[in-house]
Amino acid sequence: MTLQSVPELQHRTVLLDEAVNMLAIEGVRADGIYLDGTFGRGGHSRAILARLGPKGRLIGFDKDPLAIATAQQIEDPRFEIVHDSFATLDQALAERGIAEVDGVLMDLGISSPQVDDAARGFSFRQDGPLDMRMDTTRGMSAAEWLATADEQTIAKVIRDYGEERFAVQIAKKIVAGRAVESISTTRQLAALVAQAVKTREKGKDPATRTFQAVRIFVNQELEELEIGLAKAFRQMAQHGRLVVISFHSLEDRIVKQFMASKAHAPQPDRRLPIRAVDLPQPEGLLLGRVKPGDAEVEGNPRARSAVMRGLERMPITAPGATP
């Protein structure tokens, strides 16, 4: 892919300064190793590079070939891009002889260029091929999946990943519709969903939840998130930081529960005679929850649903020892 083929679609990086600030790239940590798990169009990566020291290193990950093409425009010896999911970060680090990292940033969901490019099939607002893959070089497209999945599976995906109460009715419409003609465009799918969804929240399109569900399923987003969080924390150096920005409740719930599990050590039976100093210590320290301010939301309405959470890896100390 040539650089000329990269579409000129604008993307505003959400919580740019807040996310990079939470990574705490300063002092000796400025020469550390950092991962941008979702390069996108490079907003966070460029901000991280601006704070890295001369010996610092940044490895970006993305499944989108257009994101990879954008990343290749960055001429900085401290930076490299990996065309794969952040769920494979352990393999990428092993291949580079890296044992631990100082920070990982994940900006989940889809970017504005992906949504606004009709050819990607992410949006019901404009007609295009029903693709929805983050990585258009591999895997099954949304159209291919909808053409082969049974009604019960389609209903389960739309219900579980879209939190859609009309999932069964939508699945029935899809199966009936594909018997007449193949569902190959976003407009076709949106029209079938509209026939099944009789009521919807004010200002929300009937197809919103279904498109979200199919996209999440096709790209295995939640499964990769669970894997990526665990691997990122496992590779984290002492006082390294994991920062995650999510855009809907399913993602945020996974991030919140994972971080809480690391910030709270399992407690033994209170009836056992164990000194307080010998109690298990938490592996992580919660760094808080951040939402975009009014000014950012006004300038970028898509930032409204963003939630950022952070976790710091704490030193592991032996029972009874002084940290």
Residues forming the annotated binding site for S-adenosyl-L-methionine?
42-44, 62, 86, 107, 114
Residues 6+ apart with CB under 8 A from 253: none
- Distance CA(225)–CA(232), nearest Å, equals 10
Q: Given the DSSP bridges, would you call strands 307-313 and 284-290 parallel, antiparallel or unpaired?
A: antiparallel
Decide: residue 212, CB within 10 A, 0-12 exposed, 13-18 middle, 19+ buried. Answer: buried
In the annotated binding site, the residues are 42-44, 62, 86, 107, 114
- Distance CA(222)–CA(89), nearest Å, equals 16
- Residue 253 half-sphere exposure, CB side, CA atoms within 13 Å? 6
